[in-house]
């Protein structure tokens, strides 16, 4: 064999070994990266870790919209509190391929013989029947955020509706006084004051006593601050909250009407976001003051920009924690507190910068 032939064979052998070495290195690198990503993903998902454990109790949380930021925060608080007691809480509904109503989810939970139910309830006869059915089956029920007072529920975990109404009323007083100053500068007579039209958005399908208490607190706060009846008028508009699209349409109808309110009070996160979008779309920023509900990033940023006048921040995580505490106290002591109220905070132009800084620091 010639020297040239031997060199070619040797070169091919070296190239083949080099190729095998490179493929091995690439395979090892891909394996390491995939393993690291899997580990990071698994470690970042407490629910996946939780599902691999054996728990003492299994609770379910039933809401009207498990996809909303508000309910996700409530669930997060419940989940973390339950983990400390070796209890698993599931946000019921998100694991199913279709959307079920709260009543249907209640039926499924009762049939599944869970250890506890945390439910966003209403005062309907059907909800009362289902709560009583669960209790009769030995399943304690905690009503969350929305109560069902005529049922055999164990506890109610919510917020002070009258206090929230008073907060809204205080902000409306500020709006009325600002309008007074503007009109006095322009007309210099009290007789020329125009009425501030206030619209409160309520759920069309909800029988919620909390909404009525908020409105009562709002009106009481205004009346107690030297504001005459001629200076304001409160109206209630029922919003079809079947889904996001129906909420948007109900709110757009307000802006398509002839008598657009000066102040719109929103009693949930979705109506706040939809109202802000309508104010922007209809070029009414600065003309319509929005009093919102919840402190999602979008709502707080809208306050900073001046598109939302103020919002009520609910300690959603605390709601979840209290719900678990109510059930745990029942199992440990045989009884529990009938009412748990979470903290609420008003966010407006005066403190939104501080609030955002605290969020950034956290």
Domain assignments of the chain as residue spans, ordered by start: 3-43, 55-159+317-343, 161-315+345-361
Cα separation of 286 and 276, whole Å?
11
Between residues 180 and 253, the one the model is more confident about: 253
Classify 302 in phi/psi space as left (phi over 0), alpha (psi -120 to 50) or beta. alpha
Q: Which helix (H) or strand (E) holds 141?
A: strand 141-144
Burial class (CB in 10 A: 0-12, 13-18, 19+), 32: exposed
The CA-CA-CA angle for residues 282, 285, 288, to 5°, reads 90
Cα separation of 201 and 313, whole Å?
18
Cα separation of 53 and 3, whole Å?
68
Between residues 204 and 39, the one the model is more confident about: 204
**DSSP letter (8 states) at residue 327:** H
Contact call for residues 340 and 156 (beta carbons, < 8 A): yes
Cα separation of 243 and 270, whole Å?
10
How confident is the model at residue 138, as a pLDDT? 96
Q: What is the CATH number of domain 161-315+345-361?
A: 3.40.50.2300
Q: How many CB atoms lie within 10 A of CB 255?
A: 17
Strands in 255-309 per DSSP E = 263-266, 289-293
Strands of 155-158's sheet in order across: 87-91, 57-62, 116-119, 141-144, 155-158, 339-341
Cα separation of 275 and 265, whole Å?
9
Contact call for residues 195 and 135 (beta carbons, < 8 A): no
The pLDDT of 113-135, averaged and rounded, is 95
pLDDT band at 93 (very low <50, low <70, confident <90, very high): confident
Q: What is the CATH number of domain 55-159+317-343?
A: 3.40.50.2300
How confident is the model at residue 37, as a pLDDT? 46
Cα separation of 201 and 235, whole Å?
9
Q: Is the pLDDT of residue 258 over 90?
A: no
Contact call for residues 158 and 146 (beta carbons, < 8 A): yes
Cα separation of 334 and 355, whole Å?
40
Q: How many CB atoms lie within 10 A of CB 8?
A: 11
Cα separation of 312 and 294, whole Å?
5
Please determine whether the domains at 55-159+317-343 and 161-315+345-361 fall in the same fold group of CATH: yes
How confident is the model at residue 275, as a pLDDT? 96
* % of the chain at pLDDT higher than 70: 81
Q: What is the β-pairing status of strands 344-348 and 310-314? A: antiparallel
Which candidate, 259, 262, 355, places its Cα nearest to that of 309?
Answer: 262
Identify the weakest region by mean pLDDT among 25-34, 113-122, 177-186, 194-203.
25-34
Sign of the dihedral defined by the CA atoms of residues 302, 304, 309, 315, in that order: positive
Burial class (CB in 10 A: 0-12, 13-18, 19+), 360: exposed
Q: In the chain, helix, strand, coil percent, each to 5?
A: 55, 15, 30
* % of the chain at pLDDT higher than 90: 62
């Amino acid at each position: 064999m010639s020297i040239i032939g031997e060199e070619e064979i040797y070169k091919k052998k070296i190239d083949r070994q080099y190729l095998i070495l490179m493929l091995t290195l690439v395979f090892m690198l891909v394996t390491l990266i995939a393993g690291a990503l899997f580990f990071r993903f698994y470690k970042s998902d407490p629910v996946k870790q939780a599902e691999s454990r054996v728990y003492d109790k299994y609770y379910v949380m039933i809401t009207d919209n498990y996809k909303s930021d508000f309910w996700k925060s409530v669930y997060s608080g419940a989940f973390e509190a339950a983990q400390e007691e070796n209890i698993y809480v599931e946000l019921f509904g998100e694991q199913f391929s279709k959307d079920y109503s709260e009543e249907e989810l209640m039926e499924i939970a009762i049939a599944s013989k869970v250890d506890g139910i945390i439910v966003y309830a209403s005062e309907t006869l059907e909800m009362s029947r289902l709560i009583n059915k669960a209790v009769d089956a030995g399943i304690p029920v905690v009503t969350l955020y929305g109560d069902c007072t005529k049922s055999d529920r164990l506890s109610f975990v919510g917020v002070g509706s009258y206090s929230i109404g008073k907060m809204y009323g205080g902000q409306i007083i500020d709006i009325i006084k600002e309008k007074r100053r503007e009109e006095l500068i322009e007309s210099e007579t009290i007789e020329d004051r125009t009425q501030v039209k206030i619209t409160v958005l309520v759920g069309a399908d909800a029988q919620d006593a909390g909404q009525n208490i908020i409105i009562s607190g709002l009106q009481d706060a205004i009346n107690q601050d030297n504001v005459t009846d001629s200076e304001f008028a409160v109206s209630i508009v029922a919003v079809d909250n079947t889904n996001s699209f129906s909420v948007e349409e109900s709110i757009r109808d307000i802006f398509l009407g002839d008598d657009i309110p000066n102040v719109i009070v929103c009693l949930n996160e979705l109506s706040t976001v939809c109202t802000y979008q309508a104010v922007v779309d209809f070029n009414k920023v600065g003309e319509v003051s929005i009093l919102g509900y919840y402190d999602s990033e979008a709502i707080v940023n809208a306050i900073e920009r001046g598109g939302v006048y103020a919002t009520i921040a609910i300690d959603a995580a605390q709601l979840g924690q209290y719900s678990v505490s109510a059930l745990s106290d029942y199992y440990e002591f045989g009884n529990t507190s009938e009412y748990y109220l979470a903290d609420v905070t008003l966010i407006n132009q005066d403190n939104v910068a501080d609030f955002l800084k605290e969020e950034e620091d956290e």
